[in-house]
Chain A
Amino acid sequence: MIRFACTIIAATLVTASTLLAPAHADTVFSALRKPAADTQIITLYTARHYDADKALYEQFQAKTGIQVKVVQAKPELLIERLKAEGKGSAADVVLMADAVSLQRTKDAGLLQPLASKAINSRIPAHLRDGDDRWTGLAYRARVIFYRKGAVQRRDIASYADLASDKLRGKVCVRPGDNPYNLSLVSALIARWGLDDTQRWAKGLVANFARPPQGNDTDQLRALVNGPCQVAIANSYYYLRLLRSDNPKDRDLARQIGVVFPDQRGDGAHINITGGGIATYAPNPDAARAFLAFLTTDSAQRIFAEANNEYPAVRGAPMPEAVRIFSRFAADRTPVAEITRHGATAQSVVDAAAWR
């Protein structure tokens, strides 16, 4: 027993001996070391899971000296955690990757007014909350892709066309319960009403080339290598393939065409990445500075450069490949209008058997 206990202690000491790890490393041990006394810190609760965001945090720290600590989790979890932590919460900034989550965060009373002239002047009003609780920072579109030569562009000019008989057995999309699809369905309910959207969903399911499987990139690959001729996916996955280091990915992307639907109608469905200041933020001024920083040209450029999203700020710099695909009419329905149909969207998906 003594030998056992000694071995356990030895193992724990060996683990602790990784204090030799480099100082900047994000390990348990570096986290336990106290930060320098004059360092300001803000805590960011983010649902964004993109590697690229690290560049944003580093740039902010380099510019202002304020360190950014990150708590990354799924949006619902962040919301539950913020609710549970209440006044004792360490969260300064809350960042969400989709509009439904932003709305849910606001509805739960977890965001305080931004009161930032910088943000108001740079971000267009339709990408900001009407009550000034959150602001959009970047957006992406969920649009229609097709195998070049397989279908006519005019046959897929609208989301409604996806349910038409002409596309029987040609359409591929990821499973219906994915948040991106639920957002799209919510937007369609806001446009067409529940009954028409239900009919559309059933028509869409009847047009599937295969049972929904995989993620958005899988649908794009299947346009070239698989049974699909038409697919629904987010714009940035396509742009990532187009700008990839891997020549095979670039070849693949060149065989795929893009249609931004409903350009003469309600516009293409977009989803917003955005954030706000937590209600009980310990450091609201630094939080405001961080959000304002995210609207500067250099930060907006990172959204586009690293993650192929469209910057919310009009005229912000972006890579050429992203710019080419950024000129389209986007849906300007207020986010609150769309997101209140969130739960209904899931029931529409379930009723249409869109697995």
Chain B
Amino acid sequence: MAVTAALPRRWPHVTPRLGLGHIWVLGLAMLILAPLGGLGLLAAQPASTLSLPADYLRSAVVHTIAITVATAVVAGTLGTLAAWCVVMYRFPGRGILSWALILPFAVPAYVGAYGLAVAAEPLGLPVRTPVGMVLVYGLAFMPYVYVSARAAFISQSVCAFEAARALGATPLRAFWHVALPMARPAIVAGMALVMMETVADYGVAAYFGVPTLAGAAMRAWLSYGDLASAARVAVSIAALAGLLLLLERHGRGHSRVQAGRIWRCLNTLPLRGAARWGVPLALWGIIGLGFVLPVTVLALQAERHTPPWDDSLQALINSICFAVLGAVVAVSMALLVLQAHGRAAALIGRLARLGYAVPGTALAVGLIGVSAPLWTLTPAHSAASVLLALAILLYAYGVRFLAAGTEPIEAGLHRLSPSATAAARTLGASASAAFWRIRLPAAQSALWAALALVFVDILKELPATLILRPSGLESLATLAYNFASDERLGHAAWPALLLVAAACAPVMWVSWHMDRTRPGA
């Protein structure tokens, strides 16, 4: 068994020189942190005399922390167990389930909440509660952990697992003591994404009427007209996210244990008895609640009304345009962040991911202030002003979804053996050459996965798009929102269904691609 021992975390000390790489990172850091800085400036202004009552804030803080932790546990457990079952065992329907389990990712959380409410309320189930929120978030964000865990389990070496079994461990013990620790960095990374998404979400909390920090920020701004307090709450959400990221770093562990390099086909075990039907039933249950239910509810709403075809097609074109360009921007920024080496760069990289936890509205408002001088430069109604608005929107997407871009790529890079990089450095390549020419090409599948994930995230994104979109242009999410806020849910269902359909393709592709990433497969 060839498990590489823990490597030193820093390369042998070389006299540091301020190279181009450092300037890149510094520039990028300023670019990424600018909207947060804008928020900070707003937060520094004096608050209105009449603002959020203290007990409302307290309740919001308690709810946010409880819901976030509970969601991470639920999503983490569901995602890890689902990934393990799908990778290691054989049961009826395994092939379909392995990609279908990512489908809940194609459904925006607020649509899932609506579906659950419509289905559960006639049955008298209290769904507009923190517990209901945990259920909605857990199902909606479970794919983050599922994707990470599945990639980790697929690329693990069988040898460690078989050695454990040969030494007498039951499959359960082997899972708990061998497979799980090896997959821990990936699982924890997935859970960090889940927590940041939960903290930043506003739609579900507003719909269910549960006080959360994101909701408190919106209430301070919309009801009390107190932008300074709202900005302060948003900054504290970012701080909470920073804490979560620190915990994640701790949770990943310090060793860089690499799986062995002997690749054989994974020996999948057939399930017998009750488990043979129980497991696929449970997995289909997850897909049913997280995907089939909201889509069915939407379809039932939609069929009552004539579809707004013109608007929806225009919105589809715009959505795809925003999402493709935004994914390219976000992943490029992610690559620039990841290629930087050194401690300062690593710190900046971690700070950059905070964008994911800041509610889209807060980010956009921070950007409006920062981008104000730019508006004076472009003449009104020109192509330049449209391009400027588009550029600011893409910039906002980049900052917001940087974490979604870096996590998969980083996980992919992490799985690579360091010997190729070591060889390149020995032969005289610089660290960044080693990154761009050796490590990144080997982790290409991770790059595609990152693009696909950010594409879907942008398709679903609502608040920042609402605020920053060039005049008159709707995306599918904003179109659905406009209909829904006019209480025309039947009309809103059509763009929402188109959104889910457009998101399904990259989601399924990511899953199919992951199956082929096992070396030697």
Q: Which residues of A contact B (CB under 8 A)?
A: 1, 4, 8, 11-12, 15, 18, 21, 25-29, 31-35, 41, 43, 49-51, 69-74, 76-77, 80-81, 84-90, 104, 175, 177, 179, 182, 211-213, 215-217, 237, 246, 282, 342-344, 346-347, 350-351, 355
Contact = CB atoms under 8 A, between A and B. Distances in A.
Contacts of B324: 11-12, 15
Contacts, number: 158
Given A1-B436, A15-B321, A211-B209, A343 B50 contact: yes
Contacts of B441: 1
Interface string B327-366: 0100000000000000000000000000000000000010
Given A74-B466, A88-B375, A88-B376, A21 B223 contact: no
Interface stretch (B189-197, B241-249, B480-488): B480-488
Contacts of B385: 90
B467 to A, nearest CB: 5
A28 B321 contact: yes
A76 B230 CA distance: 12
B473 interface: yes
B317 A215 contact: no
B53 interface: yes
Which 10 residue pairs are nearest across A and B when measured between Cβ atoms? Answer: A88-B376, A90-B380, A84-B372, A346-B223, A71-B471, A343-B50, A217-B487, A88-B375, A49-B482, A27-B317
Contacts of A342: 223, 225
B219 interface: yes
Secondary structure at chain B's binding surface: helix, strand, loop or mixed?
Answer: helix
A50 to B, nearest CB: 6
Given A51-B486, A80-B368, A343-B224, 14 more contacts: A15-B324, A31-B383, A33-B383, A34-B382, A43-B471, A69-B381, A76-B221, A77-B467, A86-B372, A177-B223, A213-B209, A216-B487, A237-B487, A346-B219
B296 interface: no
Nearest to B332: A8
Contacts of B386: 28, 31-32
B222 interface: yes
Given A69-B471, A70-B472, A76-B222, A86 B321 contact: no
B447 interface: yes
Contacts of B472: 26, 31, 69-72
A15 B223 contact: no
Interface string B470-497: 1111100000001101111001000000
B518 interface: no
Given A15-B321, A217-B487, A31 B473 contact: yes
A43 B225 CA distance: 25
Contact of B487 (A87, A215, A346): A215
A248 to B, nearest CB: 9
Nearest to A27: B317
18 contacts: A4-B447, A15-B321, A15-B324, A25-B317, A43-B381, A51-B488, A90-B380, A177-B223, A179-B222, A179-B223, A182-B223, A211-B128, A211-B209, A215-B487, A246-B304, A342-B225, A343-B50, A346-B224
B314 interface: yes
Most buried by B among A177, A179, A217: A177
Contacts of A12: 324-325, 328
B56 interface: yes
A288 to B, nearest CB: 17
A1 B50 contact: no
B444 interface: yes
B369 interface: yes
A86 to B, nearest CB: 7
B328 A8 contact: yes
Nearest to B211: A355
A177 B321 contact: no
B103 interface: no
A69 B314 CA distance: 16
A32 B387 contact: yes
A215 to B, nearest CB: 5
Contact of B381 (A35, A70, A179): A35
B318 interface: yes
Nearest to B328: A8
A213 B128 contact: yes
B34 interface: no
Contacts of B224: 343, 346
A11 B382 CA distance: 26
B368 A81 contact: yes
A237 B501 CA distance: 31
Interface in B434-477: 436-437, 440-441, 444, 447-448, 466-467, 470-474
A217 B490 CA distance: 13
Contacts of B508: none
A191 to B, nearest CB: 20
A27 B485 contact: no
B177 to A, nearest CB: 38
Contacts of B135: none
A15 B304 contact: no
B48 interface: yes
Most buried by B among A8, A179, A182: A8
A217 B53 CA distance: 30
Nearest to A57: B472
Contacts of B240: none
Given A84-B372, A215-B487, A347 B50 contact: yes
Nearest to A225: B122
Nearest to B484: A215
Contacts of A104: 225
A343 B470 contact: no
A85 B388 CA distance: 13
Contacts of B320: 15
Contact of B372 (A21, A33, A85, A215): A85
A271 B447 CA distance: 52
Nearest to B367: A84
Interface string B292-321: 000000000000100010110110011011
Nearest to A8: B328
Nearest to A343: B50
A177 to B, nearest CB: 6
B390 interface: yes
B227 interface: yes
Contacts of A346: 50, 219, 223-224
B328 A32 contact: no
Given A8-B328, A11-B324, A88-B376, A28 B390 contact: yes
Contacts of A212: 209
Contact of A49 (B321, B381, B486): B486
Nearest to A234: B487
A41 B317 contact: no
A176 to B, nearest CB: 9
Nearest to B38: A84
Contact of A18 (B225, B317, B328, B491): B317
Nearest to B451: A8
A240 B471 CA distance: 28
Contacts of B467: 73, 77
